[in-house]
Amino acid sequence: MGRLAMTVPDAATTPVAATAPEPVTELLNRSHRLGRDPRNTNYAGGNTSTKGQATDPVTGGQVELMWVKGSGGDLGTLTDKGLAVLRLDRLRALVAVYPGEQREDEMVAAFDFCLHGKGAAAPSIDTAMHGLVKADHVDHLHPDAGIAFATAADGEALTKACFGERVVWVPWRRPGFQLGLDIAEVAAGHPDAIGVVLGGHGITAWGNTSDECEARSLEIIHTAQAYIDANGRPDPFGALVGAYDPLPDQERHARAAALFPVLRGLASTDARQIGHYDDRGPVLDFLARERHPALADKGTSCPDHFLRTKVKPMVLDLAPDVPLQQAVGRLRELHEVYRSEYRAYYERYATPGSPPMRGADPAIVLVPGIGMFSFGKDKQTARVAAEFYVNAINVMRGAEAISVYEPIPEPEKFRIEYWELEEQKLRRLPPPKPLATRVAFVTGAGSGIGAATARRLAADGACVVCADLDEGNAKSVASGIGGPDTAAAVRADVSREDDVAAALQAAVLAFGGVDLVVNNAGMSISKSLLDTTVGDWDRQHAVMARGSFLVSREAARVMVPQAMGGDIIYIVSKNAIFAGPNNVAYGATKADQAHQVRLLAAELGEHGIRVNGVNPDGVVRGSGIFASGWGAQRAAVYGVPEEKLGEYYASRTLLKREVLPEHVANAVFVLASRELSHTTGLLVPVDAGVAAAFLR
């Protein structure tokens, strides 16, 4: 084992890992290499460890420690703060007080009393597996090829045939202290073995050095895959079914966009969900094969898989080109069946001590010829669920190629899914933000009010689609908000019907639907009546009156079948009410937008869709409209320098304050929040007080 010096102040205030660079750096590098290759393990799946010595800050003597990936971390992005640090002597002393398999969950709490130092991650359920094996380095992974052996009906015999005595079979056992004891016994009893295949679960390997451990993990994975390739049937999912052939790309995505809001509404029956769409090759091929219904019905196997995907998906049993309403009707029928069967599954196995049922809706929906739709509490969760089901498809392919796919029994799946330890993880999650599970579509999001609104909505938990005529500006705002799990960018000329339809389709395919639309795109022409041309009038109305109509109409086409309610918020203007000078085209189109708010509030209320607006005034700073010439025009009208225009607007208000884009964004947030859930048809002034624009 490696030896480390450690100072008392650091030990008292920071994770031990921060003062142990050599073994921890080796561990992190190994973890990253293994975790970033999806063939080796799934997202947040598996764990790695290293053992070494450090100075005990209390006694000054040497103490044996173990650094192991903590609960909830991901190998590919693991940092030292994601490691649990435990004293090996205390961890191994737990063997003497282990009360047996029926009470093994109690051992997880006992791990806390084995921790060394402060601030490290919480130990995971797999901690015993790493600590009880004597080797200095241990990897536990969930590779598709390894799980194919683990879920094969004759997995034990296949493991023997593939690996001989080099890798040993361990029958299925739920992760925990007893499994750690089982693996340690195998390692001790098979000195020539490099690892094990865990029935229904994954693989574990060990080594005396970090490099040796990694090499052995990869040897198991590559050897298993080579065996499948050399001995497997060529088409384990059966023959292709012509009726399930994938539609051409454009048709497939159009059908997916039409189905997705309906599916999201169904999947949100018990709790609102965000969606993810996946039509990669392995998914479409699986769904085009004759055996996909039977295999999907068997469900996923690896505990990490069905914790994300539920025990099995919902599968549409129609061709992709049937009439849309026929597909929607059938999905609604299948959803009712799925919910009924899931409730029955829960009731079969729940005990008085089981956690409450978390919801009976599917997390994965498979549509032949179209693809896979997955759902979760946020975009990352939904996306990862899809990735896990692709892992499951790969596992089924491998297991069926060399044997028969046989996942763990249903009662065992329930024990994992409704495990109190998993429930404790859920209880430790922070409370959701106010707009979590909401999808916002903001036009004119590339600058000014639109950009501020997009940022505010995202900060409060929404997934945001930034739409702008300038795609570069939209991308800049979206990337500043976060990655694709949080924000997306689309180019859209809101005056063009096709552009608006394409932008909303992109939003649906990105997040599953739309809940909140902010009609902010605009332009401004400041001219007198005599100087205003027909072209000026038409251009102004095309962007704002026509544009907001097109966006609202297309959004309603998503929201109504989604059946989850929604919000449409117009960024109007005090000029919708106030008759300002040299402003006929702009003022008239703003009045049009203000009345659209009232008309749509009356029409869409029966669908739970609220329509409100904000009347800002004088938002100069950061404004794309003012920067494009409107500022100079209005400054000339009022006889002030353009750089003083903001001050001028502030000086004429009751509050003597300048209005900023963020102030308008705040009003949008309030209108979209639960606090105003019973408000529709309202126009909220954000103008620092302009008496002439008071609503009467």
> What are the Cα distances from residue 84, in Å, to 202, 357, 615?
22, 31, 53
DSSP 446-512: TSHHHHHHHHHHHHTT-EEEEEESSHHHHHHHHHHH-STTTEEEEE--TTSHHHHHHHHHHHHHHHS
> Would you state the structure tokens that stand for residue 355, as one six-digit string?
């956690």
Rounded Cα gap, residues 410 and 418, in angstroms: 12
Bridge partner list, 167: 195
Active site residue 586: yes
91-104 as b/e: b if 16+ CB within 10 A: bbebeeebeeeeeb
Q: Is 436 exposed, middle or buried (0-12, 13-18, 19+ CB in 10 A)?
A: middle
Provide the b/e sequence for 130-148 (b: ≥16 CB within 10 Å).
Answer: bbbbebbbbbbbbbbbbbb
DSSP 18: G
Amino acid present at 56: D
Q: Is 670 exposed, middle or buried (0-12, 13-18, 19+ CB in 10 A)?
A: middle
Instruction: State the Cα–Cα distance between residues 218 and 221, nearest whole angstrom.
Output: 5
Query: Up-side HSE of residue 460: CA atoms within 13 Å toward CB?
Result: 18
* Distance, CA of 20 to CA of 18 (rounded, Å): 6
Instruction: Report residue 567: phi and psi, to 5°.
Output: -135, 135
**CA–CA separation, 382 and 337 (whole Å):** 22
Rounded to whole angstroms, what are the CA distances from 3 to 12, 209, 447, 503, 666? 19, 14, 55, 59, 55
Token readout for 390 is 């692709």
Phi, psi of 364 (to 5 degrees): -130, 130
DSSP per position, 494-522: TTSHHHHHHHHHHHHHHHSS-SEEEE---
Given 586, 638, 648, 649, which residue is catalytic?
586
Residues assigned a catalytic role: 586
